[in-house]
Structure formats: structure tokens, C-alpha cells
Amino acid sequence: KNAMNISTPTICLSRRRSFALACALAMVAPLAQAEKITVGDRVLDVGVAQSRQEHTKGLQGVKHLPDTKGMLFVFEPTRKVCFWMKGTPIDLDVGFFDENDQLVKYEGMQANMLDLHCSPVPVRYALEVPSGWYQRYGISITTKLRRAERLEKPAKDVGEN
């Protein structure tokens, strides 16, 4: 997802839902942790992308993302970042959160587009959620992101292929 990291997603094709779901889970966050976060008063289950490999993979290949799921990208140290939608077949919103964990910008991103969506300032987090999510739930600039307890299992059912 990070524009500086380009990769080609693996394609999962199967008529069997169980195989397709397992394949999607492997694609979404093969190394990511699962975690609950809160943005304003909304609780989300997210895959947490911390490494360059996880940042590159992001939500590529995911064809469905419920309103209760997302992908949290962690940047330590904070820095300006850009995202694109190569290999991502669904529209998403991305929100950028600064070093104080406050939302500084969010915008919609169209599926499979290569245009860049960049943070205006150095950020600690970027949060990808379903298209329209920030507006639908009244999440506004300066809303805080809070990380809850980390779960000990991989990020499962973040999205479906």
C-alpha cells in the first residue's frame, strides 16, 4: 500500500468458500497481529501492519471489508506517508493520525487506482477502513485513535476475498 513499496498480490481462485477465505486471510495479514482499536466511539478489529512487508501488502486482494474491520499501519518513527490502491479491488478510506494519535486527514481511495493519497504531516498511524466509514460514523479531524490490548493470534477475518 505504501507507494514506495510495490508488490504484486497473489490471486486466490476457488469456488469453495473455506479455501477462498483462508487464502484471503493469508493475503491480508500473513504476519500482522490482530488488535482492537477505538476511533472516537467506534471499536474496530484490525490487522496491524508494522513491517515494510506488511505495509506493502496492506489490503491487496481483499474483496470485502465489513464496517467493524480495518488495517492499522504503524510508522515508528513518525513520518509522511503515501498510499495507493494497486491490487486492491474495493474502495477504501484512509485516515492519518499524528504523533498525538489525532486524526489529521482522511480521504477516499478508489479501487485499483495508482494515484497517491498522502499524509499532510508526519504520522504515527494510517487506518484503512471501508469506503465512507469516517463520514458514516461522524469521525472528524482531531478524533483520537486508541489502541487496546493486543491479541495473541494472527489477524483473522479482517477481510474476505
Predicted pLDDT of residue 81:
97
How would residue 159 be classed by pLDDT, with cut points 50, 70 and 90? low
Predicted pLDDT of residue 33:
82
Predicted pLDDT of residue 75:
96
Q: Tell me whether residue 18 is exposed, middle or buried, using C-beta atoms within 10 angstroms of its C-beta: 0 to 12, 13 to 18, 19 or more.
A: exposed
| Whether residue 153 has pLDDT greater than 70 | no
Q: Tell me whether residue 86 is exposed, middle or buried, using C-beta atoms within 10 angstroms of its C-beta: 0 to 12, 13 to 18, 19 or more.
A: middle
CA 65 to CA 88: how far, in whole Å? Answer: 11
Q: List Cα–Cα distances, 129 to 9, 15, 18, in angstroms.
A: 19, 26, 24
How would residue 148 be classed by pLDDT, with cut points 50, 70 and 90? confident
pLDDT digits (tens, 9 = 90+) for 33-80: 889 999 999 999 999 999 999 998 899 999 999 999 999 999 999 999
CA 83 to CA 94: how far, in whole Å? Answer: 8
- What phi, psi does 44 have (nearest 5°)? -130, 145
Predicted pLDDT of residue 84:
94
pTM (two decimals): 0.76
Question: Are the CB atoms for 56 and 6 separated by under 8 Å?
Answer: yes
For all residues of the chain together, what is the average pLDDT? Answer: 81
